Amino acid sequence: MRSPLAMFHDIRAAGIAFGLRPAGHEDAEFIVALRALSKRTRFIHRGATTVDAQRSWTDAYLARPGDYYFLVHRLADGGREGTLGIYDVDAAGGTAEWGRWVLAADSLAAIESVALMYRVAFDVLHLSSVYSRTLAGNESVVSFHDSCGIPREPTMRTLNVDGVACAAIEHRLARADWPDLAQRLEPMIRRIARRAGASP
């Protein structure tokens, strides 16, 4: 069993059409371009805006415990689709936040990448719950979590985004609720995978 506090950056997860692999220095150019093009990045920390800055961020990340940053990729050809992360792991509480979820505009990886993230959180890191904090203005991502049936925490959070205090909504999935969600997502994942070049 892997300790959630361990600094392993070698976690991989393979789904049907898409997979998660550790993000590294070789992905810096892609990540900077992805964030620059995404319409959603106004709702997350500005992050590194140059390849060198992204590589420096990666250096710091690799030395940081409880932080797992993934590249979402196509299994068929390794093509990069986006990023997501599990971080701020609280080993004692068995919780972590997930986010840094940015996908290319034409990506079909949204549902499967999230399912893989939950699989890593619960089956590999053995967390008891995972939460996301989404700026209230990022309505379609708030709606995505709602559509998945992930419960909202009753109290609004305040996030500091590049020095600005912003209202945020927290959704939290408990390990016990993951099997039901996985079962609901699986038919969609399989049907999407056929279009994404996989053989489900």
Partner 1 sequence: MSDAAERAVEVRRILALALRIPADKYRRLDRETVPEWDSLKHIEIVFALEDRFGVEFSDTEIPALVSDEAIVRALAARHVP
CB closer to partner 1, 50 vs 143: 143
CB closer to partner 1, 1 vs 199: 199
Residue of 181, 4, 200 lying closest to 91 (CA atoms) = 4
The three-point CA angle 51-52-57 to 5° equals: 95
Shortest distance (Å) from residue 184 CB to partner 1:
10
Note the residues at the interface with partner 1 (CB under 8 A).
105-108, 110-111, 139-144, 146-148, 188, 191-192, 195-197
Shortest distance (Å) from residue 43 CB to partner 1:
12
Instruction: Dig out the tokens for 62 from the structure.
Output: 């690799």
Dist CA 27 CA 167 (whole Å): 31
Helix (H, G, I), strand (E, B) or coil at 61: helix
Dist CA 67 CA 5 (whole Å): 9
Shortest distance (Å) from residue 63 CB to partner 1:
33
28: left (phi over 0), alpha (psi -120 to 50) or beta: alpha
Shortest distance (Å) from residue 197 CB to partner 1:
7
CB closer to partner 1, 35 vs 55: 35
Residue of 68, 80, 90 lying closest to 9 (CA atoms) = 68
Instruction: Dig out the tokens for 6 from the structure.
Output: 């361990």
CB closer to partner 1, 147 vs 155: 147
CB closer to partner 1, 91 vs 185: 185
Shortest distance (Å) from residue 81 CB to partner 1:
12
